[in-house]
Structure 1
Amino acid sequence: MTTKIAGHLLVECLLAQGVTHAFGVPGESYLAVLDGFHLHREHIHFVICRQEGGAAFMAEAQGKLTGRPGICFVTRGPGATNASIGVHTAFQDSTPMVLFVGDVASDTRDREAFQEMDYTHFFGPSTKGMAKRVERVDDPERLPEYVARAFATAMNGRPGPVVLVLPEDMLTRPVKAQALSRVEPVQTWGDPGSLSTLRTMLLAASRPLVIAGGGGWTPPAAQALQRFAENWQLPVTNAFRFQDTFDNHHPQYAGDVGIGIAPALAARVRDADLILAIGPRLGEMTTGGYTLLQAPKTRQTLVHVHASAEELNRVYQADLAIQATMNAAAHALEGLTAPDAVPWSEWTRSAHSAYLDNLKPQSLPGDIDMPAIVATVQKHLPADAVLTNGAGNFASWMHRFYRHHGLVKGHKTQLAPTVGAMGYGVPAGIAANLLTGRLAFTIAGDGDFLMNGQELATAVQHGGKSIIVLLNNGMYGTIRMHQEREYPQHVTGSQLQNPDFAALAQAYGYAGVRIHRTQEFEPVLIAALQREQGTLIEVMLDPELITTRATLSTITQAALDKQAQS
């Protein structure tokens, strides 16, 4: 009879939690766990990635998609530090995730052994750290306890990442312990008087506005939110990069509150007399640098609903703070009795009308019409497609012009880093396809793609497919945009000499196509949708589009400044 070792038990613990995929880069420090994956290969798939940052992004995307912790395995030192970008993203994006780090053997600890480091100090945990909890497992018999606690910590309150450190020798020791049962997140709702107080505040308002987003949303919660909004005829916005929380096609949708916010929507946020923030932590991007909502006390009456007591009143002193998970909050709000008529019907109608006006494109230089490209994507992608992006000027095209049905229709359809991490979109799209089988569509910039383009090899090896539209303008576009505004004619450090991206994709096993004109895009996209393998479409973009975007950004800021003074 073969003795079970701790590395095998760890995989059994993951299976007990319902894990079907784990992402990582192999390391000698956790060979015993890899052996456990081999033993259970019919039930759990270890996805071999090319760099730990890409693996961590895939796990973060897994957490966003499933609402349960995404799983990443890396080795000590360099492996852990490479993976830290995914942990930081999971922290700021409120995404459940568990990073397992193979560590030095116990008998070499505290000698600065090969690749040794202090993970507790490196990863946090704190309100300014990268992880909610960092723990080292020295006793193999306690592995089930640590894994179950990691899952509970990652999901409960404000979701986020947990780091478990695994000494190499611990993983090879024999164990008798058994995996614990599946952990489910705890649903919480505020005190019974909160609903009554909120109803009184709504009845006293004349210009209310909902901002929905953050972690912890499920399709039933999003559907309940929509029914609440309909009952009260409330205009609803989505927080930065949570654009799939509320159906963008709904007649009460008012747009997304984030980078490059429409001036009319920015003015509407400022003019609102009641802000009902359901789920978002009200970070810098959603609040326009803490100006649309002034910290620490807003001009608007503020009702803040969040799953974490620590997040409430941390930045903004709310007039009503409610600690609640999104499922509990949305279903409770759905039952809030609305009056026969509300005084803000025209306010809601005009909010949606302004959103539709912002979808009308302006004339742009060059042979590529990006709004038309996005319209073509909208026309041909299935409603349940998963759209992913990293960080860069390029992402604004999809954020402004693509309309998500999202969670209301039963699927999460946007994976994007609110932390603004470059290189996220490519691995996130690959993970989405491997996990769900749904179409994954990624928009990337040239600099953004080069951060994690190597993960195309991961997709090909594991039978994954994504469609990547790569906008090549030969520069770090966002940085160039700021340079054009702050230091005109002094361009330094933002130019890029790029490879032939179409040829590079072909080398990895993807199809690669390059286009120069808008009319070339639709047949290429249709072919990509029909192709069994993944496709990269390289779009040669006029650099002057960045200058135009910089001008538009200046106009937007001027409008905000004018509104603030009035």
Structure 2
Amino acid sequence: MKCNGSEILLECLLEQGVDTIFGYPGGSVLNIYDALYKYQDKINHILTAHEQGATHAADGYARATGKTGVALVTSGPGATNTVTGIATAFMDSIPLVVITGNVPVPLLGLDSFQEVDITGITMPITKHNFIVKDIAQLADTVRRAFEIANSGRKGPVLIDIPKDITAAVCEYQPKQIPALVPNADTMTDEDVATAVQMIQQSKRPFVYTGGGVIASDAAKEVRELVDLIDAPVSSSLMGQGGFDNYDERYMGMLGMHGSKTAANAVSECDLFIGIGTRFSDRVILKISAFAPNAKIIQIDIDPAEVNKNIRVDHTLVGDVKCVLQRLNPQLGQCSHSDWMEKIASWKREYPNQQKGNTPDALLPQQIIETLCELTGGEAVISTEVGQNQMWAAQYYSFRHPKQFLTSGGHGTMGYGLGAAIGAQVGCPDKQVINIAGDGSFQMNCNELVTLSKYNIPVIELLLNNEVLGMVRQWQRLFYGKRFSQTTLERGVDYSKLAGAYGIEFYTIAKPEEIRPTLEKALAANGPVLINCVIDRDINVLPMVPAGAAIDEPILEIEIDD
């Protein structure tokens, strides 16, 4: 059948199972938005306040649902406004398709109004990108973009479509899109046998789960592995929810702000099994002191990550789920009771308890642990970046994959609210909360209008200390308490801000206000903003200084000013 480019684009999105687009219209995508008007009963469009918010929303939608997120924006500034969101998805391996408009093909390269080389700009932060200059190639380009976004190590793909291509007419032939099957033929039987032997010889194994466990839907297989080998488990920031945090085997997060128990276990284990992780610098810290007594097995889908940040003794390259489905049946039942008791004793000895400067201080730990209790550890939690992010990872106990949405690799302030919008749209039956610091919140608080417009029942939990808390913490420890430009004190009346958008508002200023306020917010039928007034000198602990060994964390910081 004959269709114009805009109709072909939307038909191809329907082929891929797309039901929601996050975007913002403009001149170069007018034809696509005109087609969306006709397709509004098939494809839901969420109009955000800003193109960056649209990209973060598509990212949050992808993380929470496991589907591919889709963002649609115009050319020029519309396209460049997506760059931070694309980089965020790229660093965290999130499947995203970003569709940008551009000037007509004859005007490309002439510095035309709102023309930008977005494929050139985004080349380093996408798995692949395309510019479609021939209407006959549009359908197959869209199909290829989704395949690339979801195959192997997942990630964002950009499709740039000049305006004249969206209006041109071409023959369109629908296609049935087969489900992608992960490639399981990336390792030999000998590779598996070597891993089995290393595991069976271990007396003190340590299992570490990263974002790849969630990306490959391998939580069940990881559970089987740790039960078979009787090992303790820690997770990266991106791996939260890949293993049930309520389980007695779980030691807490590993890394710069990880638990002391996990740090001790790394130093004393004799086998470290990293699953779906790239061994970030924020995890391994001082390379020479990381797992000094252990052999290391790395299981990862991306061969480029092997031996990149740390040398390992053995690798199993492939989709985590496929690898473990081959590995687990080869393992017999192991028992390491002495090792597990030692882990339990460290957990008792090093509980991570926050301290305030006064006995009645309002502590983030109290707020987040109460939230976890009231939601049964079942809510979808997004975060901004900084202290709020670490506190959420430390004190909310995640039970399942796809519960924790955070900018791990890129560290994008302003990510969380957009991500929460996408998660709530994709998972309307789940409770979604964005845990934010006031610095991050003020970067993208314009997306409150999106919550209000669509009555999206997200809770914005604002941990308000009127400073850039994480940067201030570093200034205190390493810059002689010279708090340069980290004291905000902007005097924002958050009740008026919420009121301007018609959003329900509460304040928590005392510990006794935590439970009743959270209960009211959780019972609300629409968006809520909660302003939690906390002290500016509550720090994220433990903290391993840059260059120090992972088992040398700072456990207490004296506040004398």
Asked if Structure 1 and Structure 2 have the same fold, meaning a TM-score greater than 0.5 normalized by the shorter chain, the answer is yes
Question: How far is the alpha carbon of 1:77 from its aligned partner?
Answer: 2.1
Q: Which amino acid aligns with 1:384?
A: E
5 Å matches for 1:73-92?
73-92=72-91
**Of 436, 442, 460, which aligns to 1:444?**
436
Corresponding residue to 2:452 among 449, 456, 460: 460
What is the match of residue 47 of structure 2? 48
Shifted more, 207-216 versus 23-32: the winner is: 207-216
| 1:162 Cα offset (Å) | 0.7
Q: Counterpart of 1:206?
A: 203
Shift of 1:560: 4.2
CA–CA distance in structure 2, aligned partners of residues 94 and 109 of structure 1: 31
| Matched AA of 2:316 | I
**Structure-2 change in CA distance of 1:352 and 1:506 (3 Å):** farther
CA distance in 1, matches of 2:156, 2:119: 13
Post-superposition shift, 1:559?
7.4
What is the distance in 2 between the residues matched to 1:356 and 1:525? 29
Residues 1:401 and 1:384: Cα distance change in structure 2 (over 3 Å): closer
1:33 maps to: 32
Q: Aligned to 1:224, which of 213, 221, 226?
A: 221
Secondary structure at 1:450's aligned position in 2?
A: helix
| Mapped contact 1:390–1:424 kept (Cα < 8 A) | yes
Structure 2 residue identity aligned to 1:401:
Y
| 1:463-485 superposed Cα distances (whole Å, 9 cap, x missing partner) | 31111110111111111111111
> Alignment partner of 1:310: what SS?
helix
- Asked whether the equivalents of residues 386 and 439 of structure 1 are also in contact (C-alpha less than 8 Å), the reply is yes
User: What SS does the corresponding residue of 1:482 show, helix, strand or coil?
Assistant: helix
Shift of 1:403: 0.9
**Alignment match, 1:434:** 425
2:245 counterpart of 1:248: yes
Mapped pair 1:424 → 2:423: no
1:287-322 superposed Cα distances (whole Å, 9 cap, x missing partner): 23646548xxx7631211111223223333332221
The equivalent residue for 1:136 is 131
Instruction: Judge which range, 312-321 or 168-177, deviates more.
Output: 312-321
CA contact (8 A) 1:6 1:172 kept: yes
1:277 and 1:462 map into 2 onto residues whose CA distance is: 41
Match of 2:375 among 359, 378, 381: 381
Select 1:511's aligned residue among 494, 504, 508: 504
> How has the CA–CA distance of structure 1 residues 152 and 348 changed in structure 2, closer, same or farther, with 3 Å as cutoff?
farther
Deviation string 1:405-430 (CA, Å, 9 cap, x unpaired) is 113xxxx2111111211111111112
Work out which structure has the larger RCO, using CA pairs closer than 8 Å and 6 or more positions apart in sequence. 2
In angstroms, what is the RMSD of aligned CA positions? 2.3
| Equivalent residue letter for 1:242 | G
Normalised TM-score (structure 1): 0.91
1:145 aligned to 140, 143, 148, which one?
140
Q: After the TM superposition, which residues 165-564 of structure 1 pair with which residues of structure 2 at under 5 Å, given as runs?
A: 165-189=160-184, 190-215=187-212, 217=214, 221-288=218-285, 290=287, 293=290, 300-339=294-333, 341-342=334-335, 344-355=336-347, 358-366=350-358, 367-407=361-401, 412-419=402-409, 420-437=411-428, 438-496=430-488, 497-546=490-539, 549=540, 553=543, 560=550
Question: Distance between the aligned counterparts of 1:356 and 1:399, measured in 2?
Answer: 19
**Which residues of structure 1 form unaligned runs of 5+?**
none
State the alpha-carbon separation in 2 of the partners of residues 301 and 331 from structure 1: 22
1:513 Cα offset (Å): 1.3
* 1:164 is aligned to 2:156: no
Deviation for aligned residue 1:326: 2.3
* Counterparts in 2 of 1:537 and 1:251: CA distance versus 1, 3 Å: same
The count of corresponding residues between Structure 1 and Structure 2 is 546
8 Å contact kept, 2:289–2:549 = no
In 2, the alpha carbon distance for the partners of 1:509 and 1:289 equals 49
What is the Cα deviation at residue 217 of structure 1? Answer: 2.6
Q: How far off its partner does 1:372 sit?
A: 1.8
Q: Distance in 1 between matches of 2:68 and 2:14?
A: 13
Unaligned 5+ segments in structure 2 are 554-561
| CA shift for structure 1 position 117 | 2.2
- For residues 290 and 133 of structure 1, do their structure 2 counterparts lie closer, same or farther at Cα, with a shift above 3 Å needed? farther
1:96-150 Cα distance to aligned partner (Å, 9 max, x none): 11111111111111111122222233112xxxx2111011111122222111111
User: Partners in 2 of 1:480 and 1:442 — Cα distance?
Assistant: 22
Cα distance in 2 between the residues matched to 1:278 and 1:361? 29
Confirm or deny: 8 A CA contact 1:222 1:330 kept in the other structure: no
Q: Does the CA-based 8 Å contact 2:233-2:249 persist in structure 1? A: yes
1:478-531 CA deviation, whole Å, 9 max, x = no partner?
Answer: 111111112234221112114112321221121111221111121111111111
Q: Distance in 2 between matches of 1:554 and 1:239?
A: 15
Q: Supply the AA of the counterpart residue of 1:192.
A: D
- Paired with 1:515 and 1:256, the residues of 2 have a C-alpha distance of 28
SS in 2 for 1:95: coil
Give the secondary structure class of the aligned counterpart of 2:170.
Answer: coil
- Of stretches 354-363 and 428-437 in structure 1, the one that deviates more from structure 2 is 354-363
1:510 is aligned with what amino acid?
A: I
Q: Which amino acid aligns with 1:150?
A: A
